[in-house]
Structure 1
Amino acid sequence: MGILDQIRTLLGRNDSAAAPPKTTDGIVERRKKPRVDAREGTRVLIIDDSKTILVALRKFLRSAGYETYEALDAETGLALMREHRPELIFLDIVLPGMNGFAALRAIRRDPMLRDIPVIMMSGNEQAMEQFFGTRIGADDFMKKPFSRYEIFFRIERLLDEQLVPRRPALQPHPRAAEFDGAA
């Protein structure tokens, strides 16, 4: 119940109970749509140098039944990947030591890790970071700050029929030729 509905109830004017869910062009409002989560116990690695981001992601993911591992830098994250074999990785771009792009390249070059979906994160809204991340193998991009909805929306887009995170089929960017200089 939203704040306006609560006020209407207090004033004795609760006419919203009979109203259908809000829609935009026939699409049910996101809060009315059931969320699809990965299966219980899905292993997620979070690599971010911000303890606040680590705690927030851990809280959201564990509340939905995910198992989380955390690293404050890419080198520790790569070691954790080899030890625990996560099924999904949230990877910050700006990290101390090895940055997120270098870590992503290392992941994609390692035969044991290359198939793990990676969602890159950054507080910088530059489209170039997003484009570059996808060009070297990121599966999605999430800008910080993010909401709980944003986290689960990104995960849901990567789930297969068995609710396991999978890398989507790699398709070239529609304007990739322009950036390769092959236009």
Structure 2
Amino acid sequence: MSTKTILVVDDSKTDFLYVKNILDHGGYKVAYAPSGADGIQMSKDLKPDLILMDVVMPEMNGFQATRAISRELETADIPILMLSSKSQQTDKVWAERQGATDYLVKPANPKLLLSKIKSLLN
């Protein structure tokens, strides 16, 4: 079984390191994009197995980046799990409309995060 690659798109280095630690323990390869625009570019270059997308980022937010990735032919089949401090139902519905596969509120419970990733990758 090959190691799955997960692209984490988050402008917060602290949040990234928290998630990276969880993913490392889960046995995943982790790539990092510090912005929505970088996330779009890296999703094309890297073709990760899954993307963890923050919502609140400067210049381009996670909703915009998710929309771009999910509507691009070469990246449309990559599952996107939104990971955000925004916990309103409207945020979750909007994320889905932009093409997100699932939604978790930060800080993510490590067991829940890994089980969601596992189910999205199967």
Q: Normalising by structure 2, what TM-score?
A: 0.93
Task: Verify: 1:103 aligned to 2:52, yes or no.
Answer: no
**SS of 2:115's equivalent?**
helix
Contact 2:50 2:80 in 1 (8 A): yes
CA–CA separation in structure 2 for the residues paired with 1:116 and 1:159: 9
Aligned to 2:9: 47
The gaps in structure 2 that reach 5 residues or longer are none
Aligned identity (percent) is: 34
Q: State the AA in 2 paired with 1:142.
A: L
Task: Verify: 1:61 aligned to 2:61, yes or no.
Answer: no
- Cα drift, residue 156 of structure 1: 2.4
Task: Verify: 1:156 aligned to 2:121, yes or no.
Answer: no
**SS of 1:157's equivalent?**
helix
CA–CA separation in structure 2 for the residues paired with 1:68 and 1:135: 26
Asked which structure has the greater RCO (Cα within 8 Å, sep 6+), the reply is: 2
Give the helix-richer structure, 1 or 2: 2
CA–CA separation in structure 2 for the residues paired with 1:116 and 1:154: 14
Aligned residues: 122
Q: Normalising by structure 1, what TM-score?
A: 0.63
Q: State the AA in 1 paired with 2:87.
A: E
**SS of 2:107's equivalent?**
coil
The gaps in structure 1 that reach 5 residues or longer are 1-38, 161-183
Contact 2:26 2:114 in 1 (8 A): no
**SS of 1:158's equivalent?**
helix
Aligned to 2:103: 141
